[in-house]
Amino acid sequence: MKKLLLITAILSLGACADLASFMPSSSDGSASAGTRSKMQSCMLAEAQSRLQAGTLFNDTISATAKSIAGTCTKKLALSSMGISEETQKSAENIIANLRNMSAQ
């Protein structure tokens, strides 16, 4: 049953999220195949991560699809600017350390 729900959710992600509106356009107005592929891979990984964490079905399918698409859009935008997820995590650690130091 969970597998059926997962497949339905993943298929809904593609149906609910207008991927072209989340991706940069090429000169002819269409998103590149590589960008589309990266977006779909990211959304699948994000959906699987949320499923494992037990949070995939906390909201409606439409709201979850929008959230996953937004998360992946941000990740791909950061990546295209040369800012990796690792860099962002490092910045978060620095901020958390500064907050802890100021609280003491």
pLDDT tens digit string along 24-39?
Answer: 444 554 568 888 999 9
pLDDT tens per residue across span 55-103: 999 999 999 999 999 999 998 988 888 777 677 788 889 999 999 998 8
CB contact at 8 A, 47 and 1: no
pLDDT at 18: 46
Distance CA 91, CA 102 (A): 17
CB contact at 8 A, 61 and 9: yes
pLDDT tens per residue across span 39-48: 999 999 999 9
User: Which tokens sit at 90?
Assistant: 């490092």
Q: Cα angle vertex 67, ends 64, 71, to 5°?
A: 140
Tell me the residue range of the domain where 71 lies. 2-103
Question: Looking at the 3D structure of the chain, how many domains does it have?
Answer: 1
pLDDT at 13: 55
Nearest to 35 by CA among 46, 45, 22: 22
What's this model's pTM, rounded to 2 decimal places? 0.55
pLDDT at 20: 47
pLDDT at 2: 57
pLDDT at 63: 95
Tokens 């992946």, residue?
72
- The residues, any chain, with a CB within 8 Å of residue 64's CB and separated by 6 or more, are 9, 13, 50, 56, 57, 58
